Amino acid sequence: MGLAGVRIVLVEPAGPMNVGSIARVMKNFGLHQLVIVNPQCDRLSKEAMKMAVHAKEILQSAVVVATLPEALQGCVRVIATAGRVSSWETALENPRTALPWLLEEPEKPVALIFGREDRGLSNEELNYAQRFVTIPSNKNYQSLNLAMAVAVCCYELAQSTEQLETQPPVATELAPWEILEAYYQQLESLLLKIGYLYPHTAASRMEKFRQLYNRTHLQTTEVAMLRGILRQVEWALTNASDRENCDS
């Protein structure tokens, strides 16, 4: 798939001119999959279409979904753009070094997420990504316009594609996003059940687990093994409880 497999995901964009400009720059660099999560503007408005110029078909074919998980269905690699995330231990990477990773799965869908114009992505939304990029800019004025940020990343992806053509990557069977999410939900449920997690701190503790697993780039077979372990633990807990009830 190469660039054809890359989804540009916009979370709640509010500016139609931004959305139109993004469609144009996507076409400039050979990207065509635009997914918009809960848009706060009309992607087909006069303003958006005017800014798209000759990329109106990208706006017309854009997929609109209600939630970020819907936008990421089927993706095996996900990168999110972010500013400073002081509460996280995960490093923010330069687009030039991180974005080529998306193209190392040439036959599978991948996603690059951009947040809202005014406040970016929430920590909960960042949880859905495996790596995180920030665009280096002058420390005196670090805020980039959304369309400009997309343009920089699309350019870097296009440059990466040219380099990978001479050095084809070795594909691995990374676990699709929804399989990882199912594992995280099962893990959280079990850890709550055994008292390792508490409801009021579960979200922050699960962030740590996500960061740990994201660094390992789990494959589908590995997730299946981990889920098998969780199922066995759940079975053991249930049977231990049944035995205690019989003994009493």
Supply the pLDDT for residue 208: 86
Residues 74 and 28 reside in one and the same domain = yes
Residue 145 in this model has a pLDDT that exceeds 60 = yes
Residues 122 and 238 reside in one and the same domain = no
- Element spanning 6, H or E: strand 6-11
Confidence of residue 246 (pLDDT cuts 50, 70, 90): low
Supply the pLDDT for residue 138: 84
User: Could you count the other beta carbons within 10 Å of the beta carbon of residue 210?
Assistant: 20
Domain finish residue from 144, 166, 188:
166
Residues 22 and 55 reside in one and the same domain = yes
Residue 39 in this model has a pLDDT that exceeds 70 = yes
Asked if 150 and 113 count as a contact pair (C-beta separation under 8 A), the reply is no
Q: How far apart are CA 159 and CA 184, in angstroms?
A: 34
Q: Is residue 108 part of a domain?
A: yes
Mean per-residue pLDDT of the chain = 88
Residues 101 and 208 reside in one and the same domain = no
Asked if 83 and 117 count as a contact pair (C-beta separation under 8 A), the reply is no
Domains identified in the chain, total number: 2
Residues 155 and 195 reside in one and the same domain = no
Q: Transcribe 178-203 into DSSP letters.
A: HHHHHHHHHHHHHHHHTTSS-TTTHH
The more confident residue out of 78 and 171 is 78
Supply the pLDDT for residue 27: 97
3-state SS, residue 118: coil
Residues 199 and 155 reside in one and the same domain = no
> What's the whole-number mean pLDDT along residues 18-34?
97
Supply the pLDDT for residue 161: 85
pTM of structure:
0.77
**Torsion on CA atoms 76, 81, 86, 88, rounded to nearest 10:** 0
Residues 221 and 157 reside in one and the same domain = no
Supply the pLDDT for residue 9: 98
Domain finish residue from 139, 166, 193:
166
Q: Is residue 154 part of a domain?
A: yes
Supply the pLDDT for residue 166: 59
Residues 107 and 159 reside in one and the same domain = yes
List pLDDT tens digits, range 146-197.
999 999 999 999 998 876 655 555 556 788 888 898 999 999 999 999 999 9
Domain finish residue from 118, 144, 166:
166
6-11 and 63-65 strand pairing: unpaired
Q: Domain limits at 55?
A: 2-166
3-state SS, residue 52: helix
Strand order in the sheet with 33-37: 63-65, 33-37, 6-11, 110-114, 77-81, 131-133
Q: Is residue 205 part of a domain?
A: yes
